[in-house]
Amino acid sequence: MPRTTTVECPGCPPIRALTFDALGLIKVTESRGNSGIPQVVERWGDADSSKRVLAASIDDRANDPILAVARKNSTIEISNPLNGDIFVSLSNIGDGDAHPEDDDDIAGLHLFKKSRSVGSCSLLTCTTKGNASLRSVDITPAGNTNNDGASNSWKVCAAGNILCAKVHGSEKHALFGGKGVEVNLWDLESSTKIWSAKPPPKNSLGIFTPTWFTSATFLTGDDHRKFVAGTNSHQVRVYDTSAQRRPVISFDFRETPIKSVAEDHDGYTIYVGNGSGDLASFDTRTGKLLGCFLGKCSGSIRSIARHPDHPVIASCGLDSYLRLWDVKTRELLSATFLKQHLTCVVFDSNFSDKAQNTGEIPGEDEQEALKPAKRKKSSEEMKGKKKKSRDDGSKKSKKKSRPIESEE
C-alpha cells in the first residue's frame, strides 16, 4: 500500500499549472483567490498509452502563447495552452530514419522563446540515442501542409543513452547527459561540443561509480558555465566549466536515485526530488541542506517547476498528485489528485485571476439585498396550524379525564 499523509492545506495564490501524464492526457489546474484550492478545470486529449507525454515546453508570453509536447509515438504537437487547440502535429523521424529504433524515445524538448517570429517557432529535440535536431516549424494554418522548415541535426553521443537535456536561458547553449554519457555542453549556433565532464576518481575502497545522469539544470540565466546534475547513485554534482572538468561540489541525498532538479531565481538554491518521494532544497555554494519540504510524497518525483512570480514550486510524479509548496516555509500549500502517473508539469505565468475579489466592502443596503428573502406564511396556513393545535389540546384533555371517571 502506498504511504499517504493527511495535511491541512492553507491554499495557494492564483496559479495555473499544466500537467502531463502516462496516458497522454493534459490537465489544467487553476487556483483562484489569495488562498484558493486548485481544481482541475480542463482536460485535453484521449487516454492512450502510446501517446505518453515524455517532455513538454511552453512559451507563455501574453500574446500568442504556444505549447510543445513530445509523445511516446515519436510525434510532437504544438498547441495553444489556453484552449488546447493543436496547431501542428509533426513526426520526429527524419528523412534518413525510415525505420527508427523502438527504444529511441525523445529525451529532451525545448521551445525557443527569444528567436521566435510570428507564425513560426523553433524546436530542439534530442532522443535517447543522442540524435539532436534543431528545426523551424511553421504554425500558420496555410503552412500545415509543409511543417518542416530549416533543420540542423547532429549526434550528441556515440554510445550510451541520453536521459536529460537542458537549454540555457540565453538559448545559445545546451546540456546533455545520461546513462554512460558524461554531461557535456554544446554551442547551439555552431552545433559543436565545447566542454565535457570528467568522471570523479575512485573512492577510498577503490570502487568506481558508473556514469548515470538522470537530471540537469543551469543555475542562472546569465552564466552558462555553472550547472547542476543529479545521478542515479543519489548524488548531486555542481559543475563550473571555467574551473575544472570534475565536479566543484558533490553531495549525497538520501538513498534513492535523483529524479528531478530545478533551480531558483537567486542563482544558488536548487530543489532536488528523488525516487522515494523526498523533496529538499540545497545551497550549491556550500552543498548544505537548507531543509526538507513538509509532507512526504507517496511516489517517485518526476518533475519540479519553479513559478516565475510567486514563491511557489510544483512537483508531480508516480503518486498521481500535483503538489504545490511554499518556497520560504517549505510547507505544503495544496495537493490535487489527478488519477494517472504524472510525467511533467509547467506553469502559465501570465494567468490572471479574473474572479479575484476587488477588496471593496459592500454597503448595508447591498448586504441586505444579498441576504436570502424569507417567505411569508399565508393566512390559510396560519389558520390550519391553529386548528391542529386546538384538536391536539382537546384530545389530550379527554385522555386525562378517562381515569378520573373510572375512579368515581
Confidence tier at 371 by pLDDT (50, 70, 90): very low
Whole-angstrom distance, CA of residue 350 vs CA of residue 16:
9
| Helix extents (H) in 178-327 | none
pLDDT, one tens digit per residue, over 90-102 is 988 654 444 445 5
Confidence tier at 67 by pLDDT (50, 70, 90): very high
Closest CA to 187 of 154, 138, 160: 154
For residue 161, what pLDDT is reported?
96
- Would you say residue 374 has pLDDT above 50? no
Confidence tier at 41 by pLDDT (50, 70, 90): very high
For residues 177-186, b (16+ Cβ closer than 10 Å) or e, as one string? bbeebbbbbb
Torsion angle, CA of 250/251/253/255, rounded to 10 degrees? 90
The per-residue DSSP string of 96-148 comes to: S-SS--TT--EEEEEE-STT--TTEEEEEEEETT-EEEEEEEE-SGGGTT--E
- For residues 166 and 183, the answer to whether their CB atoms sit within 8 Å is no
Closest CA to 321 of 343, 301, 336: 336
**First-last CA distance in the chain:** 78
For residue 8, what pLDDT is reported?
63
Whole-angstrom distance, CA of residue 170 vs CA of residue 180:
28
| C-alpha cell, 152 | 540542423
Of the ranges 111-115, 269-273, 294-298, the best mean pLDDT one: 269-273
Mean pLDDT confidence for 270-275:
97
For residue 188, what pLDDT is reported?
95
Entry pTM? 0.82
Q: Which residue has the cell 511554499?
A: 326
For residue 260, what pLDDT is reported?
97
- Would you say residue 152 has pLDDT above 80? yes
Sheet strands side by side (includes 53-59): 53-59, 66-71, 75-79, 86-91
- Would you say residue 62 has pLDDT above 70? yes
For residue 327, what pLDDT is reported?
95
For residue 382, what pLDDT is reported?
55
For residue 80, what pLDDT is reported?
94
Mean pLDDT confidence for 1-9:
48
pLDDT, one tens digit per residue, over 244-265 is 999 999 999 999 999 999 999 9
Higher pLDDT: 88 or 374? It is 88
Higher pLDDT: 43 or 402? It is 43
pLDDT > 70: percent of the chain: 79
Confidence tier at 358 by pLDDT (50, 70, 90): very low
pLDDT, one tens digit per residue, over 86-135 is 999 998 865 444 444 556 899 999 999 988 888 899 999 999 999 999 99
36, β-bridge pairs: 12
For residue 362, what pLDDT is reported?
40
pLDDT, one tens digit per residue, over 163-196 is 999 999 999 999 999 999 999 999 999 999 999 9
Closest CA to 304 of 256, 257, 260: 260
- Can you tell me whether residue 51 is helix, strand or coil? helix
Mean pLDDT confidence for 48-62:
94
For residue 296, what pLDDT is reported?
72
Whole-angstrom distance, CA of residue 175 vs CA of residue 80:
27
For residue 370, what pLDDT is reported?
39
Side-chain-side CA neighbours of residue 104 (13 Å) = 18
For residues 354-378, b (16+ Cβ closer than 10 Å) or e, as one string? eeeeeeeeeeeeeeeeeeeeeeeee
